[in-house]
Amino acid sequence: MKSKGEINWLGSIAGKINRGKRWAAYGLILMLLWACPPVVFSANETENAAKPSDLPLKAPSDSAIEKRIGSVIGTIDDFQNVKIDVREGVVRLSGKTPRMEASENVTKMVSRFEGVVYVDNQIQVETDVEARVKPALDRVRQYLVNAMQKLPIIGVALGVILIFWIISRVATRWELPYKRLGLNRLLRNLIRQLLRKGIFLLGVVLALDILDITALVGALLGTAGVLGFAIGFAFKDIVENYLAGLLLSIRRPFDLNDLVRIESHEGRVIRLTSSELILMTLEGNHVRIPNAAVFKSFISNYSINPRRRFDFGVGVGVNEDLVDVQALGCSALRTTEGVMAEPAPFMLVEELGDYNVLIRFFGWVDQRKADFGKVRSEAIRRIKMALDEARVDMPEPIQTIRLQRGSEARLEPRRPRATGREIQTMDVSPDTQLDDQIHEDLAAAHEPNLLIEA
């Protein structure tokens, strides 16, 4: 068993050993700390080296700027006589140039060079005739040389345009598709024009592509769009009449030689063009009506239905028997040539006046067999004769003043009416006077008639 002194000695030795370990650990840590800072500092130095310097770069010298500008503009023909002087970044340009545009462009070009602070442009436009003409002649000569070199390609492009032009002509003369579709003449012409222009335009675009000037195609298309808008706005009425003519030719509210009334105009249709409708009035005059006005107007066509009704009014005395008057009038209408038996003629009482009764007779005419105006005229004549023979009073609005002397009152005897007169037959056949004039007009006309099929 160890004594207390030995134990204390051993404890002191163990403490020394523990302290020695701690000092050794501390020393190892210090060595590591001493070795690590250079590595960290080296990385920082590398990172700092990788960063761009915040210090401003040194501006190029005046001589370098002058040399750089001179080497660039010296390659341009318009600036061969231009002198350059650079001081403290200010560039002074002097000399002469053949074009004003070149003088303006050089300022923009020089101001983009590095180190240029300001451009003082003192270039003057050349006034010498030879100096002005020579560059233009050189450019023309160069254009001719380029054209001669591209002459075979230009010939191929022109050949392509010619081929497409021939194809457009041949394609538009083919009648079979239009006949199968049953299209009218105006629609055929419209489709032909669109097809012809479309094929030709395709050939032009292909020729421009062969010449490698497709940029011009875009310019042409843009110009065509703007031009089309301007033309459409300026010629709005023309376009409107053309579209109205197209719609009228499709709808066909009338045909050639039809008797129509359009607003206050009445006549026979003789021609429909792309811009207007031409009527021949019953007096033989020509009336031209714009298609747009025709399309928007009320159209009365008297020829589509060959049966047409006429009417006229008659005033009879207030003391007359209207049943007898009706029988007399309708009997006279039934015996009138040109008046149809079915529908039968009839009479209507319209108004009771102060001195008479207004009645109206109605009858129908087949315009394929008789003329409407002639039949109506003959019907009025027949009824007038029938009423006269029956001594039917047809008073007029006349005031008579009679002067009597004393108690004498002499009245004029009533004039006897003729009776038993023979009824003469009048000509009510269809009127062909306008037909002959219309045929003559159609034969002599030079305008296209959309109502006549090709």
Quote the pLDDT of residue 102: 74
Residue 74 lies in a domain: yes
Do 328 and 357 have their domain in common? yes
Q: Which of 110, 126, 142 is the last residue of a domain?
A: 126
Residue 189 lies in a domain: yes
- Amino acid, res. 178: Y
Quote the pLDDT of residue 395: 85
Residue 44 lies in a domain: no
Quote the pLDDT of residue 392: 92
The enclosing domain of 313 has a CATH number of 3.30.70.100
Do 279 and 341 have their domain in common? no
Rg (CA), the chain: 55
Which segments of the chain have a pLDDT < 50?
1-2, 4, 7, 39-47, 49-50, 52-53, 55, 409, 411, 414-415, 417-419, 454
Quote the pLDDT of residue 41: 42
Name every residue whose Cβ is closer than 8 Å to that of residue 195 and which is 6 or more positions away in sequence.
168, 171, 172
The enclosing domain of 70 has a CATH number of 3.30.1340.30
CA separation (Å) from 84 to 96, 109, 398? Answer: 12, 13, 113
Contact 122, 94 (CB under 8 A): yes
Quote the pLDDT of residue 25: 65
- Report which DSSP code applies to 79: G
Do 82 and 160 have their domain in common? no
Do 290 and 317 have their domain in common? no
Residue 336 lies in a domain: yes
Q: Give CA–CA dist 130/138, Å, rounded.
A: 12
What percent of the chain is helix, strand and coil (3-state, nearest 5)? 50, 15, 30
Quote the pLDDT of residue 222: 66
How many domains, the chain?
5
Residue 239 lies in a domain: no
Residue 43 lies in a domain: no
Q: Which of 379, 396, 413 is the last residue of a domain?
A: 396
Neighbours of 72 (CB within 10 A): 13
CA separation (Å) from 3 to 7, 8, 11, 313? Answer: 7, 9, 13, 168
Quote the pLDDT of residue 44: 47
Do 181 and 262 have their domain in common? no
Quote the pLDDT of residue 444: 74
Do 313 and 280 have their domain in common? no
Contact 220, 211 (CB under 8 A): no
Do 193 and 206 have their domain in common? yes
Quote the pLDDT of residue 426: 65
Do 334 and 196 have their domain in common? no
The enclosing domain of 279 has a CATH number of 2.30.30.60
Neighbours of 193 (CB within 10 A): 11
Strand boundaries in 207-345, DSSP class E: 259-262, 265-272, 276-280, 286-290, 299-301, 307-316
Which run of H or E residues covers position 180? helix 176-181
Do 332 and 384 have their domain in common? yes
Contact 83, 95 (CB under 8 A): yes
Question: pTM of the prediction?
Answer: 0.48
Residue 138 lies in a domain: no
| Tens of pLDDT, residues 46-55 | 445 445 445 4
Residue 188 lies in a domain: yes
Do 384 and 442 have their domain in common? no
Do 317 and 366 have their domain in common? yes
Name the phi and psi angles at 148, rounded to 5.
-65, -40
Alpha carbon 222 to its chain centroid, in Å, reads 16
Do 291 and 344 have their domain in common? no
Containing domain of residue 4, as a range? 1-29
Quote the pLDDT of residue 49: 47
Q: Give CA–CA dist 269/266, Å, rounded.
A: 9
